[in-house]
Amino acid sequence: MRLGNLLKVAVILVVAAAVSLVSFYPVAGVPWLPLTQDINLGLDLRGGVHVVLEAVDTEDAKATPDAVQRSIGMLEERINQFGVTEPVIQQQGTNRIIVEIAGVDDPDAVVRDLIRPAYLEFRTEDGTTVLTGADLSDAREAINPNTREPEVNLTWNPEGAKTFAEVTAAHVGRRLGIYLDGHMLQNPEIKQPIPDGKAVITGYESLQEANRVAVLLRSGALPVKLDIMEKRTVGPQLGADSLERSVTAGAIGFGAILLFMVLYYRLPGLVSAVSLVVYATLVLLVLAAFNATLTLAGIFGFLLSLGIAIDANIIIFERLKEELRTGRSLRSAVDAGFKRAFVAILDANVTTLIAAVILYVFAPVMIKGFALTLGIGILISMFTGLVLTKWMLHLLAGSGMVNSPRLYLK
């Protein structure tokens, strides 16, 4: 029974050590290990761009909701061509668009490519450009009332209609390529001459697909001016450097904390060291599970939370020492220490949590990650501090084999 308690502690130690080792230490050939590979790295850690664009009014085109939609469609199309993974494109407010792209070699070139106006052209099979976006006045998706099939209706302006009539008359049976930014969007066949300036493109799977093409055509027909409101690019070199440096710094800081705890608090210090390793693993697990993106500020928040997480242990151990000095037995001192420390830990953590939540709600994007890791850290530290540390101390005290006061007190 007594030996059983020590055994349990040993099992906890082995499990904790194993889990954290496989979580942090890369194992070749096992794709889901380590855990750290499952955590998305933010733009500032692997290089990338964060741009806030705003559609602005020009003489030619107004920044209408449709204009913003067209810009988003066009940006999506362009970004897809970069072949990057998981780009973020989202609308903010009425006329702002946030674009985030990670892992690009030349982020500034990407920004340049993104904001140039869309260039739409129509080319015959021999590659001659016969019409451009300037000739097109509108493009709308619709369901054909007769065939019930989705289609895109093009409307040419008077000049475009004239050219279009000539081109279609001369190229019946051949194809007219539609290119956006030099990239082929569609290659419909000219079935008959169209003299009235209204063209119909058919053959879509769904109305949604027709809508996508119509939006892209309109973005070339009515180019929107996009202004950069905010741009943050980080080269891949700086990102890798930041990651490496913060991991090294974190490891050293972490080591110093563990060493201090063991030297100052002895056996309980050792217990808290185990708790802290479990804490770090759990936080990373939660981040991976929620698919959170770890930014540099997020890493700093995580590392800082290690320093703060140990606070719960320190409060408890100080109480434990007080209780032991009054001559209590080890087992009752452990219980009393936890009971008295609990309120202080709860109140202290709730207020910090309030600060973290407010930070998360109000803070600008780049420090949201910091607030998130800080908040998750506080919650998990309550668990490791109040549950895991307590459990291990109980087992140790209950074993009756490691109860020399010298292990707990100076």
Residue 224 Cβ vs other proteins, minimum distance, rounded to whole Å? 16
C-beta closer to other proteins: residue 48 or 73: 48
C-beta closer to other proteins: residue 79 or 154: 79
Residue 87 Cβ vs other proteins, minimum distance, rounded to whole Å? 19
C-beta closer to other proteins: residue 213 or 309: 309
CA distance 272 to 337: 15
Residue 253 Cβ vs other proteins, minimum distance, rounded to whole Å? 3
C-beta closer to other proteins: residue 140 or 321: 321
Residue 13 Cβ vs other proteins, minimum distance, rounded to whole Å? 22
Residue 99 Cβ vs other proteins, minimum distance, rounded to whole Å? 14
C-beta closer to other proteins: residue 4 or 307: 307
C-beta closer to other proteins: residue 89 or 344: 344
Residue 164 Cβ vs other proteins, minimum distance, rounded to whole Å? 35
C-beta closer to other proteins: residue 19 or 52: 52
Residues near other proteins, by CB under 8 A: 44, 52, 107-108, 111-112, 115, 227-235, 237-238, 241-242, 245-246, 248-250, 252-254, 256-257, 260-261, 264, 296-297, 300, 303-304, 306-308, 310-311, 314-315, 318, 322, 340, 343-344, 347-352, 354-356, 358-359, 361-364, 366-367, 370-371, 374
Residue 144 Cβ vs other proteins, minimum distance, rounded to whole Å? 43
